[in-house]
Amino acid sequence: MHYRYPTTLKPYIKKGVELGLLSPHLLEFDLAVLGEALKAERDQQFTYLGLQTLYDRYFIHSEGIRFELPQVFFMRVAMGLASNENNREQRAIEFYNLISSFDYMVSTPQLFNSGTLRPQLSSCFLTTIPDDLHGIYSAIRDNAMLSKWAGGLGNDWTPVRALGAHIKGTNGKSQGVVPFLKVVNDTAVAVNQGGKRKGAVCSYLETWHLDIEEFLELRKNTGDDRRRAHDMNTANWIPDLFMKRVFDDLDWTLFSPNNVPDLHEKHGLEFETAYIDYERKAMSGEIEVYKTVKAADLWRKMISMLFETGHPWITFKDACNVRSPQQHVGTIHSSNLCTEITLNTSKDEIAVCNLGSVNLVNHVDENGLNQEKLKETVTTAVRMLDNVIDINYYSVPQAENSNLKHRPIGMGVMGFQDALYKQRISYASEQAVEFADTSMEVVSYFAITASTELAEERGCYESYKNSLWDQGILPIDSLQKLNEARGKGYLEVNMDQRLDWAYLRDRIQRSGMRNSNVLAIAPTATIANISGVSQSIEPTYQNLYVKSNLSGEFTVVNPYLVQDLKKIDLWDSVMVNDLKYYEGSVQNIDRVPAEIKQIYATAFEVEPRWLVDAASRRQKWIDQAQSLNLYVAGASGKKLDVTYRMAWLRGLKTTYYLRALAATTTEKSTVSDNSLNKVSTVPEVAAVPMACSIDDPDCEACQ
């Protein structure tokens, strides 16, 4: 292959163009130079699962014949991303070296579509639905178009009037949000993503909306099926005032948005003032359609529905808004399908995010985090992500308008658990929380630096003026704004910092920023498989399991555990059988030493507080959010209540899936029982449709 690769690239590109699968502009590159740059030995890095995944779903094919080889594939992606560069061969080789070494991996849409005739390279789209019939169906049509070209969707439904609200035009009463959500659900099923994967959408509703109680029940298996949405994800968009009322055991008022039109556009203290004023008007009879409930009762229902159906997810409006660099251009109304994107939307703007992830384990050596290597990786990665914005194919004009105006990107991390293994750190430890903090600080520092360097080279993004960046307020500084907005000790966050942020602040004041947003941690379900590392910031699910996906069934074993057991002569067929019996857990195997049990604790064996604490330390450095799955063994209403209150107090912006094992299912009784795989919850419910989650390795909705 060392000799074959250099001669393969040119005929491959020619054939791809001839078949109408690749863009003719790839022929303008010096293909001989690029062919010589291919590194055949990197084919040896793949796991079997990783290579099979690429072969089945990524390599370009004609009439069932794959004619793309791994290194040629990475070069094709790199060429697509370098096509607008002045020194494009040099940049293509730089990009190729980064992704083919697995130091960094671009998201699935970029792997699918870079260098093709229709380069739809974006992962996520966020829309706001207006309160009129024409606008609602236009938004559903936009969902279909975005889904067709493989985008994951987040819809903000808060502006749509509630059930029973007056409709002026017909002098009738509204049917509320829920019937439209049924249509959204069915559209996502009908329009699959580019023929490659199912459509995936998440609908958001703010907690003061009069339809919130029915919204919470959308995923239930009982009740009128016309008011259920079994294939769609849902999320609560929760203002801080609601959480304060929960803590203080006070009442909460539900409104129809047509009676309180400005609440949707307000956040923080402004929202609180307006909301309390509307409550006063409701009590004095100026607003007719409203309802008063106990905040704690509604919170309890949120938690119990999450426990029972896996939805709606818990996300926090004010943490997203008060810390947003872009609050001068409006309010953030929702997150995306995987809860890591926090960007502005309006009737003229569909927010778009372009993603990629640094592979942390490749930047850890015997001395810990290799900051020099990380700086090089992040600098090149930010450049690639910025290029995506200009090369991108936009299927709706509002998405192009938004992306070119604000130029947001979302660089994240993966391989966090592997990086801990490499340093022999247990996930459930202060050391792991510290590593989450220090590693994210370094990634954040270099990513923001790279964006300000690009601003020096290419100019600032259009809406930079009056942003938090422009005011000298970095993500770490915006925590103080959140603290002030909440007041009364409702924020418990570590504020330590180690790098020279004062220098970076000064540099941004001089040069500006190329991108409105720079950081977001996505789930990385598939790109982590391709790279052969642990997904995103997830703890290990099981140390030994069979992964079934479109490519077949694969036995996946934790290589770090195998190495450690081999060193002490414990890796044998008996150990393999024990691991099978205990479903990938070492905790009940007596001969395994305590230290190894600690390091190789699986997701349900790590107390959720460690996940929340590590996420809190990361969140202080991130201008967007992170996809945070929570694993709760021995789940009860009280335990979930405490976990989610803690998530809010620790300043998290969003949470993602709840993986709950009820106390009755955590005991292993028989070999075939499979109880530890029951991640739905008690009472048992239909399987939750996955977005990007650990037990759906086929999803690339975000990455």
DSSP annotation of 222 reads S
CA distance 651 to 437: 14
CA distance 422 to 78: 29
338 is catalytic: yes
Give the torsion through C-alpha atoms of 596, 602, 605, 607, to 10 deg: 110
Query: 3-class SS at 101?
Result: coil
Query: 3-class SS at 23?
Result: coil
CA distance 342 to 317: 10
Say if CB 134 and CB 142 are below 8 A apart.
no
CA distance 299 to 19: 56
CA distance 409 to 351: 11
CA distance 111 to 68: 12
Q: Which of 340, 349, 441, 538 is catalytic?
A: 340
Say if CB 148 and CB 191 are below 8 A apart.
yes
Tokens of 332: 């953030």
Helix axis angle for 637-649 and 608-619, nearest 10°, is 20
First to last CA, the chain: 29
Q: Which residue has the tokens 């990513």?
A: 447
Amino acid identity at 10 = K
Closest CA to 25 of 84, 95, 106, 86: 84
Say if CB 334 and CB 126 are below 8 A apart.
yes
Tokens of 703: 């990455």
For the beta carbon of residue 687, count every other beta carbon within 10 angstroms. 12
336 is catalytic: yes
Peptide bond into 397 cis (omega under 30): no
Q: Which of 338, 353, 460, 702 is catalytic?
A: 338
Say if CB 76 and CB 23 are below 8 A apart.
no
Residues 409-420: b if buried by 16+ CB within 10 A, e if exposed: bbbbbbbbbbbb
Q: In terms of C-beta density within 10 A (0-12 exposed, 13-18 middle, 19 or more buried), how is residue 493 classed?
A: middle
Say if CB 552 and CB 442 are below 8 A apart.
no
φ, ψ at 682 (rounded to 5°): -115, 135
For the beta carbon of residue 459, count every other beta carbon within 10 angstroms. 12
Q: Which of 321, 336, 354, 543 is catalytic?
A: 336
340 is catalytic: yes
Q: In terms of C-beta density within 10 A (0-12 exposed, 13-18 middle, 19 or more buried), how is residue 465 classed?
A: exposed
CA distance 158 to 148: 25
Enzyme catalytic residues: 336, 338, 340
